[in-house]
């Protein structure tokens, strides 16, 4: 799965501009799918028959989009002003390389007033978005707009690579790892019918999941995600949430969802019976597509299996290959268990 994940993370797919990711996933999924479609919001919905005919009862979901930025205007001297798409950590944006546009791929760097020109008070503050700009080497508004007009999307630049023996550094691990797990499962013989929803616009309010779940109308949904690992030296023990390398995170609650207790217990039992390390969140925060899927029509029983990832919503994040593989193993076991229900 390492090579597949690296390919997925290298693709640019800011919320609302997931085309490159969707095209890649579609090409990978089509040989194994019984049906495949893209809806009006850009979700890719794939159905594959299994040994047991269960129709649309079970949905697996993972989002294709990543956080990034969008150009709002050019200044007279050729710099680009922008806004963030999704909850980007502004503390680490300064000086980061970006690439703009799906076709031209214009390189740029996020900048702001030079540090030696800041007041002592300004140095203590997280810079506001309006204080930032993108330098693309243009010298006039006209030149800048010719290179990247307002509305152009921007993605962070980060080459995926291993860290140590087990860790992986890349942009967009959130949530290309969930997409990778679903693609691997699509290549296998499944124990029951499964609908796979590769969703759009999760980072701006789980919008794609609403449309996907409404059209599929599942009874049970498993969301494959990442979640905040705060196991850094500066964080108090009770706020560290979870840690990469300790197994997939099985959630019972987060900032947006109270998960189905029966499904939580099923996942915990499957992990323990099969020697898969697992963890829960020790501090409740965050949310994902489950919060929207859960509320669809008459309601959906939801569960989530996540990889603990450091530095979410930053230009680079870090997770564990072992956790990613164990997510795949646990999801495979979950499908087999659901086929017995």
Residues with catalytic function: 202
Omega before 175 within 30 of 0, i.e. cis: yes
- Token pair belonging to 36: 């495949």
Helix 173-186 × helix 2-10 angle, to 10°: 130
Q: Nearest to residue 46, comparing CAs of 194, 190, 175, 174?
A: 194
Identify the DSSP state of 311.
T
Q: Nearest to residue 304, comparing CAs of 3, 60, 42?
A: 60
Distance CA 219, CA 124 (A): 50
Distance CA 260, CA 275 (A): 23
Residue with tokens 């998960």: 259
Contact 83, 72 (CB under 8 A): yes
């Amino acid at each position: 799965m390492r090579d597949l994940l690296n390919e997925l993370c290298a693709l640019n797919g800011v919320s609302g501009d997931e085309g490159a990711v969707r095209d890649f996933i579609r090409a990978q999924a089509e040989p194994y799918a019984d049906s495949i479609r893209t809806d009006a919001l850009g979700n890719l919905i794939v159905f594959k028959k299994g040994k047991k005919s269960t129709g649309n009862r079970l949905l697996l979901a993972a989002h294709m989009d990543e956080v990034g930025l969008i150009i709002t205007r050019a200044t007279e001297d050729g710099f680009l002003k922008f806004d963030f798409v999704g909850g980007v950590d502004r503390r680490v944006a300064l000086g980061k390389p970006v690439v703009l546009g799906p076709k031209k791929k214009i390189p740029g760097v996020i900048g702001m007033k030079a540090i030696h020109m800041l007041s002592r008070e300004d140095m203590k503050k997280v810079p506001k978005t309006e204080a930032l700009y993108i330098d693309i080497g243009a010298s006039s508004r006209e030149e800048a707009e010719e290179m990247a007009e307002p509305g152009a999307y921007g993605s962070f630049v980060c080459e995926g690579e291993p860290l140590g023996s087990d860790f992986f550094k890349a942009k967009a691990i959130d949530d290309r790892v969930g997409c990778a797990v679903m693609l691997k499962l699509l290549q296998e013989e499944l124990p029951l019918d499964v609908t796979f929803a590769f969703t759009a616009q999760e980072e701006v309010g789980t919008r794609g999941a609403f449309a996907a779940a409404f059209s599929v109308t599942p009874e049970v949904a498993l969301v494959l995600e990442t979640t905040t690992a705060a196991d850094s030296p500066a964080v108090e023990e009770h706020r560290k949430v979870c840690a990469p390398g300790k197994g997939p995170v099985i959630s019972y609650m987060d900032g947006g969802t109270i998960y189905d207790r029966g499904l939580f217990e099923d996942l915990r039992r499957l992990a323990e019976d099969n020697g898969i390390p697992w963890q829960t969140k020790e501090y409740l925060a965050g949310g994902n597509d489950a919060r929207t899927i859960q509320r669809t029509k008459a309601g959906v029983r939801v569960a989530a299996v996540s990889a603990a990832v450091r530095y979410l919503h930053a230009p680079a994040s870090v997770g564990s290959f072992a956790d990613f593989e164990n997510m795949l193993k646990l999801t495979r076991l979950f499908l087999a268990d659901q086929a017995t229900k």
